[in-house]
Amino acid sequence: MSLTNADPLEAAKAARLGSRKLAILPTEDRNAALTAIHAALAEAKDEILAANARDLASATKAAESGVLSQSLVKRLDLGKKGKYEDMLQGILDVRRLPDPIGRIGVRTLLDDGLVLERKSSPIGVLLIIFEARPEVIANIASLAIKSGNAAILKGGKESTESFIAISNVISKALQSTAVPNGCLQLVVTRDAVGSLLSADRYIDLVIPRGGNELVRMVKQNTQIPVLGHADGLCSIYLHADCQIPMAVRVIVDSKTSYPAACNSLETLLVDEDALKTVLPAVAEALLSQGVSLRCDYTSKKALSSTLDKHQAVFLQDASDEDYKTEFLNLILAIKTIPKTETPEKAVDLAIDHINEFSSHHTDAILTSSKSIADRFLEAVDSASVYWNTSTRMADGQRYGFGTEVGISTNKIHSRGPVGLEGLTIYRWIIIGEGQVSMDYGSGAKKWKHQRLPVGDEEAIAQDEEELRMLKEFRAKRMASS
pTM over 0.85: no
User: CB–CB of 204/20 below 8 Å?
Assistant: no
How far is residue 50's CA from residue 47's CA, in Å, rounded to a whole number? 5
Residue 245 burial (CB < 10 Å; 0-12/13-18/19+)? exposed
DSSP 412-480: SS--EEE-TGGGEEEEEEEE-SS--GGGBSTTSBPP--EE---SSHHHH--SHHHHHHHHHHHHHHHHH
The verdict on 225 and 256 lying in the same domain is: no
In a domain, 214, yes or no: yes
Segments forming the whole domain that contains residue 466: 455-481
How far is residue 466's CA from residue 107's CA, in Å, rounded to a whole number? 12
The total number of residues written for the chain in this structure: 481
The verdict on 214 and 338 lying in the same domain is: no
The verdict on 45 and 106 lying in the same domain is: yes
The verdict on 116 and 253 lying in the same domain is: no
The verdict on 329 and 376 lying in the same domain is: yes
- At residue 132, the pLDDT reads 76
Secondary structure letter of residue 98 according to DSSP: P
In a domain, 397, yes or no: no
The verdict on 317 and 376 lying in the same domain is: yes
Q: How many domains does the chain have?
A: 3
In a domain, 395, yes or no: no
Residue 16's CATH number: 3.40.605.10
411 phi and psi, to 5 degrees?
A: -110, 15
Q: Nearest CA to 293 among 324, 325, 335, 264?
A: 335
In a domain, 404, yes or no: no
In a domain, 479, yes or no: yes
The verdict on 166 and 190 lying in the same domain is: yes
The verdict on 44 and 189 lying in the same domain is: yes
The verdict on 187 and 255 lying in the same domain is: no
At a CB cut-off of 8 Å and minimum separation 6, what does 89 contact?
none
Secondary structure letter of residue 360 according to DSSP: S
Secondary structure letter of residue 157 according to DSSP: G
pLDDT in tens, the chain (481 residues): 555 545 888 899 999 999 999 999 999 999 999 999 999 999 999 999 999 999 999 989 888 888 888 877 888 889 888 889 999 999 999 999 999 999 999 999 999 999 999 999 999 999 999 877 888 889 889 999 999 999 999 888 888 899 899 999 999 999 999 999 889 998 887 788 999 999 999 999 999 987 778 888 999 999 999 987 767 899 999 999 999 999 999 999 999 999 988 999 999 999 999 999 999 999 999 999 999 999 999 999 999 999 888 888 889 999 999 999 999 999 999 999 999 999 899 999 999 999 999 999 999 999 999 999 999 999 999 999 999 999 999 998 899 888 888 888 887 778 888 889 999 999 999 999 999 999 998 878 999 999 998 865 444 444 566 556 666 766 665 665 4
Q: How many CA atoms does the CB half-sphere of 429 hold within 13 Å? A: 14
- At residue 457, the pLDDT reads 47
User: CB–CB of 158/62 below 8 Å?
Assistant: yes
Secondary structure letter of residue 339 according to DSSP: -
In a domain, 468, yes or no: yes
> What's at 216, amino acid-wise?
R
How far is residue 183's CA from residue 448's CA, in Å, rounded to a whole number? 42
Pairing of strands 292-295, 384-387: unpaired
At a CB cut-off of 8 Å and minimum separation 6, what does 438 contact?
444
The verdict on 191 and 292 lying in the same domain is: no
In a domain, 411, yes or no: no
The verdict on 251 and 346 lying in the same domain is: yes
Sheet with strand 265-271: strands edge to edge = 315-317, 292-295, 331-337, 265-271, 234-238, 362-366, 384-387
Instruction: State how far the alpha carbon of 175 is from the alpha carbons of 12, 183, 186, 442, in Å.
Output: 20, 12, 16, 59
- Domain boundary residue among 334, 358, 382? 382
In a domain, 436, yes or no: no
The verdict on 204 and 263 lying in the same domain is: no
CA 244 to chain centre: 31
Secondary structure letter of residue 202 according to DSSP: T
- At residue 409, the pLDDT reads 85
User: CB–CB of 254/236 below 8 Å?
Assistant: yes
- Domain boundary residue among 324, 358, 382? 382
Residue 296's CATH number: 3.40.309.10
Q: How many CA atoms does the CB half-sphere of 435 hold within 13 Å? A: 19
**What is the CB neighbour count within 10 angstroms for residue 419?**
25
